[in-house]
Amino acid sequence: MTSPTPSPPFAIEIANLTVSYGPVPALLDISVKIPAGSLVGIIGPNGSGKSTFIKSILGFVRPDVGEVKIFGESAEQAKGQVAYVPQRGSVDWDFPITVREVAMMGRYGAVPWWKDLGRRDRQIADQALEMVRMQEFAHRQIGQLSGGQQQRVFMARAMAQGAEILLLDEPFAGVDAATERAILDVLAQTKKAGRTLLVVHHDLATAAEYFDRLLLLKQRLFAFGPPQAVLHPRLLSEVYEGNLRVFADMQSREFVADDEVSR
């Protein structure tokens, strides 16, 4: 007798999600299933709901309608499985805490509250700092770093958490080539470990290179699929309303059939 083949595990399942801050919904009727182990770039213009989408997965904003499941559980139940690096400028790091302490913060969720962080936790935090090449700054106050360096430390904290899902809100915004490289290393290592990454990204020129799937948002979900399919001129012109320079580059690419894109 053959047993039925198990369906592919989804890291995140979103059904009919609508989120509003005021009269106009920031996200409208979004349904999407994100397979475990995928490296997803979230694209869309300013104000299109990308950060809100990430916050919905974290359970930071309450949906008007719809639900989010993380490995089949509610956001509340799955808290420890999701690590988050917020959009730059949204956190004020003006209090005295060192780089190493920030990386160590990633370990608190992983350790029962009655246990102190041990040598192993310190090792994990230090390895994460090494991965983003910030170990030499371990004893520096976080407020005394440049924006790009702070970004790397937050990546380290998220890595140290060991969560199955990483949500990064524009990690590449305003960083130099070295930080970009360090962040790409983190993405590659995380994917290699079989974890799921959702990364808000603005640069359409690098989107196909960095991610294996793209999710195109503007209040609604316009497309979710392989980059070549999502970066389709017709879709992009609908969402970006005349970003012509990018289109000129895209025209020369090969596109896969439209039916590969779920919309």
Ligand X SMILES: Nc1ncnc2c1ncn2[C@@H]1O[C@H](COP(=O)(O)OP(=O)(O)OP(=O)(O)O)[C@@H](O)[C@H]1O
Give the interface with ligand X as residue ranges (CB under 6 A).
21-22, 26, 44, 46-52, 87
Q: Of 25 and 227, which CB lies nearer to ligand X in the complex structure?
A: 25
Q: Which of residues 74-93 bind Mg ion (CB under 5 A)?
A: 87
Rounded to a whole number of angstroms, the minimum distance from the CB of residue 67 to ligand X is: 19
Q: Minimum distance between the CB of residue 176 and ligand X, rounded to whole angstroms?
A: 21
Q: Which option in Mg ion, ligand X, none does residue 44 bind, with CB closer than 5 to 8 A by kind?
A: ligand X
Q: Which is nearer to Mg ion, 11 or 200 (CB)?
A: 200
Q: Does 56 bind Mg ion (CB under 5 A)?
A: no
Q: DSSP secondary structure string, the chain?
A: -PPPPPPPPEEEEEEEEEEESSSSEEEEEEEEEEETT-EEEEE--TTSSHHHHHHHHHTSS--SEEEEEETTEETTTTGGGEEEEPPTTSS---S--BHHHHHHHHHHTTS-TTS---HHHHHHHHHHHHHTT-GGGTTSBGGGS-HHHHHHHHHHHHHHTT-SEEEEESTTTT--HHHHHHHHHHHHHHHHTT-EEEEE---HHHHHHH-SEEEEEESEEEEEE-HHHHS-HHHHHHHHS--HHHHHHHHTS----GGGSB-
Closest contact distance (angstroms) between CB of 172 and ligand X is 13
Q: CB-wise, 107 or 201, nearer to ligand X?
A: 201
Tell me whether residue 32 or residue 160 sits nearer to Mg ion (CB atom): 32
Binder of Mg ion out of 48, 51, 81, 196 (CB under 5 A): 51
Minimum CB distance to ligand X, residue 253 (Å): 24
Q: Is 179 in the site for Mg ion (CB under 5 A)?
A: no
Residues that bind Mg ion (CB under 5 A): 50-51, 87
